[in-house]
Amino acid sequence: MQLTEFNQAEKEQKAQALRRCCSAERWVQRMLKAGPFDSKSDLLESARIHWAAMSDDDWLEAFEGHPMIGDMDSLRKKYAASKGLSEREQSGVDQASEATLQALSDCNQRYLARHGFIFIVFATGKSADQMLSLIRQCLEQSTENERKRAAAEQLKITLLRLNQLIDA
């Protein structure tokens, strides 16, 4: 989609496209009000500004829009709308050994139990082993620090998806 197409799209069509980038509804509504955008950099800057204004609840809502790293069944069933995006982002998991996938699954469950939300990481370019190492480190962090770290990772994911949306 070109930026002009995005700017000229119906409100609900734009909202659906934005939700594929980030599922925090308050962020989506703020982005809708911020447009039309003069340039891609204007769109991305607006995304950053509005993400910075989000609350913990908004962050958690955005996190819920992701499958657990490595959970391909969840990816296929629950997240069909952003399936292609998540699959590309998590492509490093595709070549992982069964032991690594099992360890990721176990760590994800422990992470969820400890922090109350799934592990969020900008997975593009990372192998399953790298993500496993990261989640193990994050299991030791405070929930407050993890919420902030995950929110920063969510912004990276959102910006990547917006770039892909406008380049499509």
Query: Three-class SS of residue 39?
Result: coil
Q: What are the residue boundaries of the structural domains of the chain, listed by start?
A: 3-61, 68-151
pLDDT tens column, 103-153: 888 999 999 999 999 999 998 888 888 999 999 999 999 999 999 999 999
pLDDT at 83: 41
pTM assigned to the model: 0.84
How far is Cα 97 from Cα 90, in angstroms, rounded to an integer? Answer: 14
- CATH 1.10.10.10 for domain 68-151, yes or no, is no
CA distances from 38 to 17, 102, 159 (A): 18, 46, 17
pLDDT tens column, 36-69: 999 999 999 999 999 999 999 999 999 999 887 7
**What confidence category does residue 100 fall into, taking pLDDT thresholds of 50, 70 and 90?**
confident
pLDDT tens column, 146-156: 999 999 999 99
